[in-house]
């Protein structure tokens, strides 16, 4: 996957279109196509109700991704805080007008579509933190007082998402923020101190923050066999499906756990299990191979970018993408508690798909503008 370079900072629209990394677009389309096939299988060999809705969403998201890719990167820098503020406003609005589903209040129903603001916050947090650190001097990043603002930028959406409650997304937001702090050059001793503080906070968080169902998920993670028909049902069925797939799987549309409805949330959280049961370990590694190519591309883009804002955006998006994959796959294998995190590009979901493709558009935008030097006045439009 060659990353060609252009050293002319003045890019016309035509040149931007030619600079779009079409191999990356192809990889994204191939990965999403795996999702369409698995949603078709999860529905028992029917396009309804999931595949027929997911494919048009991907088409819209793909168009958004390409538009974002050719948008001037200085626009995203200039309005990063505005986008972040809008996402916070949507998270606050969920508390008052949010629709309740599966025991949580996470969506805003607009009539023709439901929006999940926490998915939007995943992207806007990266933009806001990259905007904050792009103009920071090295000596400033090392000062504790300089970290007060980014700490607030991270804490605000995390607290709001926890209140929905959506513990899994809150954890992903927190870890994405921590990764960006590390990439920005924050001193290692601060992470060590934060780690000790996190350990000390385990007991009060368990006692006063986590709800009963969240505690049950942690206990189920430790010993799912204690409640095989209750809290441990999801993960035990997932393990059965994963194990029964073997090396090459039972065959397309032949997965018994999913088609006999033993496997819960097969179109969202546990769709990797559907794939592994039907196509086995080979199919699972095939999908992970596509993910690996996308991750390699993302890290390569960040290394080639000349401006600090673009580097942080690319690394933040790639790291968040990796965290989503890791948490979902580890969750269905029983290595992590079940936290309700969808598998990127594969699981059914509108906002998650659109925001992921939007973030990929930002990644491609960084690549298209990789040789643009963003001076001190870029954020203000000077």
Q: What does each of the 382 residues of the chain score in pLDDT, given as a tens digit? A: 444 444 445 678 888 999 999 999 999 999 999 999 999 999 888 998 899 999 999 999 999 999 999 999 999 999 999 999 999 999 998 888 766 665 566 778 776 677 889 999 999 999 999 999 987 777 777 777 888 999 999 999 999 998 877 888 999 999 999 999 988 888 777 778 778 887 888 888 778 777 777 777 777 777 776 666 666 777 888 888 888 888 998 988 888 777 777 777 788 889 999 999 999 999 999 999 999 999 999 999 999 998 889 999 999 999 999 999 999 999 888 888 888 789 999 999 888 999 999 999 999 999 999 888 776 656 666 5
Residue 358 near residue 320 (C-beta atoms within 8 A): no
Residue 346 near residue 236 (C-beta atoms within 8 A): no
7 in a domain, yes or no? no
State how far the Cα of 355 lies from the Cα of 318, in Å rounded to an integer.
13
Residue 274 near residue 237 (C-beta atoms within 8 A): no
pLDDT at 81: 95
Total domain count for the chain? 1
Residue 94 near residue 87 (C-beta atoms within 8 A): no
Residue 32 near residue 58 (C-beta atoms within 8 A): yes
pLDDT at 327: 93
Domain region containing 332? 13-380
CB-facing half-sphere around the CA of 14: CA atoms within 13 A: 0
pLDDT at 7: 46
Per-residue burial over 329-359, b = 16 or more CB atoms within 10 Å of its CB, e = otherwise: bebbbbebbbbbbbbbbbbbbbbbbbbbbbb
1 in a domain, yes or no? no
Spacing of C-alpha 353 from chain mean position: 9
pLDDT at 378: 62
347 in a domain, yes or no? yes
6 in a domain, yes or no? no
- pTM summary value: 0.89
CB-facing half-sphere around the CA of 328: CA atoms within 13 A: 27
Return the percent helix, strand and coil in the chain, to nearest 5: 70, 5, 30
**88: nearest Cα among 145, 163, 146:** 163
145 in a domain, yes or no? yes
3 in a domain, yes or no? no
- Pairing, β 114-115 against β 99-101: unpaired
pLDDT at 381: 60
Bridge partners of residue 206, in order along the sequence:
none
């Amino acid at each position: 996957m060659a990353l060609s370079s252009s050293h002319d900072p003045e890019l016309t629209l035509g040149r931007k279109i030619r600079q779009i990394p079409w191999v990356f677009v192809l990889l994204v389309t191939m990965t999403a196509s795996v999702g369409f096939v698995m949603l078709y299988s999860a529905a028992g060999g029917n396009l309804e109700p999931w595949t027929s809705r997911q494919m048009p969403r991907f088409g819209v998201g793909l168009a958004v991704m390409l538009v974002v890719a050719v948008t001037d990167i200085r626009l995203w820098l200039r309005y990063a805080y505005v986008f972040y503020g809008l996402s916070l406003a949507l998270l606050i609005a969920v508390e008052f007008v949010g629709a309740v589903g599966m025991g949580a209040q996470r969506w805003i129903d607009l009539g023709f579509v439901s929006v999940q603001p926490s998915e939007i916050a995943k992207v806007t947090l990266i933009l806001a933190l990259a905007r904050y650190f792009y103009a920071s001097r090295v000596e400033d990043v090392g000062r504790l007082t300089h970290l007060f603002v980014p700490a607030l930028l991270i804490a605000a959406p995390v607290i709001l998402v926890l209140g929905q409650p959506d513990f899994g997304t809150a954890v992903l937001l927190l870890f994405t923020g921590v990764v960006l702090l590390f990439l920005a050059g924050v001193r290692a001793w601060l992470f060590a101190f934060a780690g000790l503080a996190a350990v000390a906070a385990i007991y009060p968080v368990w006692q006063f923050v986590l709800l009963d169902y969240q505690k049950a998920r942690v206990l189920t993670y430790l010993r799912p066999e204690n409640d095989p028909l209750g809290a441990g049902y999801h993960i035990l069925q997932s393990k059965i499906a994963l194990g029964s797939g073997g090396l090459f799987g039972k065959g397309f549309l032949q997965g018994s756990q999913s088609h006999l409805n033993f496997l819960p949330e097969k179109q969202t959280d546990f769709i990797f299990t559907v794939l592994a049961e039907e196509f086995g370990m080979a199919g699972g590694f095939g999908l992970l191979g596509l993910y690996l190519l996308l991750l390699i591309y993302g890290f390569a883009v960040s290394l080639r970018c000349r401006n600090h804002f673009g580097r942080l955006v690319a690394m933040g998006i790639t790291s968040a993408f990796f965290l989503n994959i890791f948490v979902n796959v580890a969750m269905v294998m029983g290595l992590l508690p079940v936290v309700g995190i969808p598998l990127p590009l594969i699981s059914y979901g509108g906002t998650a798909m659109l925001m992921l493709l939007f973030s990929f558009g930002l990644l491609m935008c960084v690549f298209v503008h990789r040789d643009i030097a963003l001076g001190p006045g870029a954020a203000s439009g000077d």
